[in-house]
Structure 1
Amino acid sequence: MAEPLWTAEEIAAATGGKLAGQAFRAGGVSIDTRTIQPGDLFVALAGVRDGHEFVEQAFEKGAAGVIASRQVFGPAVMVPDTLHALEKLGAAARERAPQARRGAVTGSVGKTSVTQAIMAGLTLAGPAHSSVKSYNNHIGVPLTLARMPRGTARAVFEIGMNHADEIRPLSRMVRPHAVVITTVGPVHTENFPDGEAGVARAKAEIFEGLEPGGVAVLNADNRWFDLLKGEAERAGATVRTFGTGEACDARLIDFQVPAGHAVVQARLHGKALDFPILQTGLHWGLNSMAVLLMLEALGVDLDDGLAALGSFEPLAGRGAEAQVRKGAGAFTLIDESYNANPISMASAIATLGARETAGRRIVALTDMLELGPEAEAFHRGLAEPLEAAAIDLVFCAGPLMKSLWDALPPTRRGGYAESAAELAPQVVQAVEPGDVVMVKGSNGSKAGAIAAALSALDSRSGEGA
């Protein structure tokens, strides 16, 4: 039988809990009965719904045992507080794998994609582990740690925040050997009285968990670089830089986008590199520099890093492309619907503008959230990059996007609606074969509904075939 991820005795020892019922062996850790796998340990967390209400369902789906704070019927480790128990289990997983080199990723843009690109490189170099999806908060980080097998050679964790003092405890939990801050920009600024400067200081909290002699990978092109570099050095980190300047350890020289992929021209510690990647977003020039420096810091060969970048595909909702049939032809759908902020929005618009197409360039945009009192100005300000990119048609959804809609010239206006669901039929009707259509907005403003409606055209086209 394969070695278990956890035994009941190990769980009890790690959490300070007491075993109730039969001993068990768990092959995974879950907090959600919708995705639980047979043999998993189920942690009954309190949330909108109390996890204890789902214990019976967890056992029906094959859970090996549970961590609970009140009596349940089935094998369990009883603890006073299940979230604290999960944190302790994560710390125990870290301690029992001292050989594992750990990386951590934060930033205002690109955390999940960069984390998964790093993971692609780690996997080529040996037994590796990472966050799944965007598991980057006070639950997702200890859960990811608790899922780390004892034989892991390298791991990478995504760490996010909405407020100050959220990254600090998570970084101390992970205790990374290398960290990267992809960039700092006006994201979650409504939660910071001093705006973007507060966001930068909150991101710098990631240095506080660094292992002695750890590496901090920083974006030298970002306006907050000097602040971040100072905080990193105060924490004892060795700073490695990426950007377009001559002094950067990983310097982006050029980024070209032939059909379907991109070619990056760079210099790594002065050595010339030219390599292809499957990503087409202009921001992936700098992202790839950050990935290579992180992989280097975690002991991955350059050849493995380049191979990983060369095969890493865009994630769903983060630049994934599809050809969607409509009528006798097809259009290109670029799905950027998972998230949006002023930085990523401008980059995505510029990327679309640089793209060669026989048809029209169309965008469907929904509200960018958590931008505070400057939110309307940030939305209105998108008119300039849209003009610079020569976007043909702009569709807008949401009360904040109304500011952009009002700022657009009539020739660029595609349609407006108060919600993504109301806008979707307008975009579906307008798109024609040969067009390139990008959908982007904050997850909370439901941009995904527009992408889903466009994708559904494919199945409808098939019905008539």
Structure 2
Amino acid sequence: MPEAALWTAEEIAAATGGQVAGDFAATGVSIDSRSLEPGDLFIALAGVRDGHEFVAQTATKGAAGALVSQAVATPAVVVADTFKALEALGVAARERAPQARRGAVTGSVGKTSVTRAVEAGLRRAGKAHASVKSYNNHLGVPLTLARMPRDTERAVFEVGMNHADEITPLSKFIRPHAVAITTVGPVHLENFADGEIGVAKAKAEIFAGLEPGGVAVLNADNQWFDLLKAEADRVGATVRSFGKAERANARLVGFAVEGQGATVSVELDGEALSFPIRQTGVHWGPNSLCVLLMLEALGVDRATALAALAEFAPIEGRGAEQVVAIDGGAFTLVDESYNANPVSMQAALATLGARKVAGRRIVALTDMLELGPDSGAFHAQLAAPIAQADIDLVFCAGPLMKSLWEALPAQRRGGYADAASDLATQIVSAIEPNDVVMVKGSNGSRAGVIAAALSALGLREKV
């Protein structure tokens, strides 16, 4: 077996109950022919297109072999069901690395950023593994497990859901030693007849696979804390909490924005502590404490954890900033276009309001999706935090954001369009030097189109 091999054909066959049809050794695992790297095992899953149609193509791109359910002309392991085989490969990867301490992160807001920050700490501490992008569903979680090297010391997985009963099997795949629920809010409400309490119960499914004696990191400020703690207690978890509440193990006592970062002040188990982070969002006060408690639970020392937080930068689409040159100067683009819900929207607006600006505060907002029958009200209610943040101009796109547009006073109305692509041109013509422009909305409502259009202004040739 090559030293760098992640899986040999024999190991894949043993894990999945398959038959070897051509020997090979793979250095990675892929389910997408477009992003496949040389040396990967290609798993041919059924989808909009049958993955078997792409096996020959992946071989030309350097795939080591394939995991298939029908005969192919390339080296392969043949199984009855490739999806079940992917799950089995993930379980085998977990079981062959018993030394690895595993963490799992879920929550209505912030799970991707917290997962990435935890990953940064794990990589500083040793051989680490983590989800890529937002691979947090029934495909992403077993795929991330299947990619885990056998010598991994620590790993962190992002876990998401849209409906009840989705997180339970994912948690049982991971068998985490520590879990975090960043917060629970009104997200995916259209899929929960019992409303937000249903969302909270669904997030509590993360405890289903928790290893005996595992740690549950919970938000002490969230209205569902007692419900979540009761569920964690029921499985025998050690609960560690964060937030502003007096009861929190990691209690936030200060958050001071300084330039491109902030200083977080905390009482951690009664000990006063201050540390810098490369974030300005007010939600990064509690987020950073969640990260600290997760790293502690996964065996990372405090100095390493703080060093990781000090260097962890905002992620694209989740608060990343860019200074964009325009005629007469430049403006600052804050890209929050990856996703949005009432909780994250209010946090982003508060962050912009707390920022010292030389020009105007401008926001471009697109629809928040999956909020159920009260969607219009959730959008209209943003008028209050917009006023509190002293936003100068508001641009809205989408039928749901029409409710906010109608709730705004005339002096704050920058522009409205039915679609994000149509709104972009309105914002471009309104921007002036020294403005700070934040773009936020659900990924499905295409807020990213607006962010891309604003970013591209800096690439135009000046005439």
TM-score (norm 1): 0.99
Q: Distance in 1 between matches of 2:95 and 2:181?
A: 25
> 1:237-386, aligned counterparts within 5 Å?
237-386=237-386
Tell me by how many angstroms 1:132 deviates: 0.4
Q: Does 1:432 align with 2:422?
A: no
Q: Distance in 2 between matches of 1:235 and 1:423?
A: 49
SS of alignment partner, residue 179 of structure 2: strand
Tell me by how many angstroms 1:258 deviates: 1.4
**Counterpart residue identity of residue 319, structure 2:** G
Give per-residue Cα distances to partners, 1:47-81, cap 9 Å, x unaligned. 11111111111111100000011121100111111
SS of alignment partner, residue 248 of structure 2: coil
Tell me by how many angstroms 1:2 deviates: 2.9
Q: Does 1:2 align with 2:3?
A: yes
Alignment partner, residue 406 of structure 2: 406
Write out the 4+ residue segments of structure 1 that deviate beyond 3 Å after TM superposition. none
Alignment partner, residue 390 of structure 1: 390
SS of alignment partner, residue 257 of structure 1: strand
SS of alignment partner, residue 433 of structure 2: coil
Give per-residue Cα distances to partners, 1:294-345, cap 9 Å, x unaligned. 0000000000110000000000100000000111311000000000000000
**Counterpart residue identity of residue 405, structure 2:** W
Q: Does 1:30 align with 2:1?
A: no
> 1:59-458, aligned counterparts within 5 Å?
59-458=59-458
**Counterpart residue identity of residue 62, structure 1:** G
SS of alignment partner, residue 438 of structure 1: strand
Q: Distance in 1 between matches of 2:379 and 2:73?
A: 53
Tell me by how many angstroms 1:226 deviates: 0.4
Alignment partner, residue 13 of structure 2: 12
SS of alignment partner, residue 258 of structure 2: coil
Q: Distance in 2 between matches of 1:121 and 1:71?
A: 44
Q: Distance in 2 between matches of 1:433 and 1:81?
A: 58
SS of alignment partner, residue 370 of structure 1: coil
Q: Distance in 2 between matches of 1:32 and 1:431?
A: 40
Give per-residue Cα distances to partners, 1:246-269, cap 9 Å, x unaligned. 221111001111111111011111
Q: Distance in 2 between matches of 1:403 and 1:292?
A: 39
Deviates most, 291-300 or 2-11: 2-11
Q: Distance in 2 between matches of 1:157 and 1:311?
A: 21
**Counterpart residue identity of residue 247, structure 2:** A
Give per-residue Cα distances to partners, 1:412-463, cap 9 Å, x unaligned. 0000000100101111111111000000000000000000000000110xx2
Give per-residue Cα distances to partners, 1:17-71, cap 9 Å, x unaligned. 1111x20010000011111100000001111111111111111110000001112
Give per-residue Cα distances to partners, 1:60-115, cap 9 Å, x unaligned. 11000000111211001111111110000000000000000000000000010000
Give per-residue Cα distances to partners, 1:185-241, cap 9 Å, x unaligned. 000010000010000000000101000000000001000000000000001111011
Tell me by how many angstroms 1:464 deviates: 2.4
CA contact (8 A) 2:137 2:159 kept: yes
Q: Number of matched residues?
A: 462
5+ unaligned residues in a row in structure 2: which ranges?
A: none
Tell me by how many angstroms 1:3 deviates: 2.8
Report the RMSD for the aligned CA atoms in angstroms.
0.7
CA contact (8 A) 2:321 2:335 kept: yes
Tell me by how many angstroms 1:274 deviates: 0.7
Alignment partner, residue 58 of structure 2: 58
Q: Distance in 1 between matches of 2:146 and 2:182?
A: 25
SS of alignment partner, residue 185 of structure 1: coil
CA contact (8 A) 2:220 2:247 kept: no
CA contact (8 A) 2:29 2:40 kept: yes
Q: Distance in 2 between matches of 1:336 and 1:300?
A: 30
Alignment partner, residue 49 of structure 2: 49
Q: Distance in 1 between matches of 2:377 and 2:367?
A: 12
- Quote the sequence identity (%): 71
Q: Distance in 2 between matches of 1:73 and 1:359?
A: 63
**Counterpart residue identity of residue 202, structure 2:** A
5+ unaligned residues in a row in structure 1: which ranges?
A: none
Tell me by how many angstroms 1:118 deviates: 0.2
Q: Distance in 2 between matches of 1:19 and 1:151?
A: 25
Alignment partner, residue 464 of structure 1: 462
Deviates most, 445-454 or 69-78: 69-78
SS of alignment partner, residue 226 of structure 2: helix
Tell me by how many angstroms 1:245 deviates: 1.8
CA contact (8 A) 2:281 2:351 kept: yes
TM-score (norm 2): 0.99
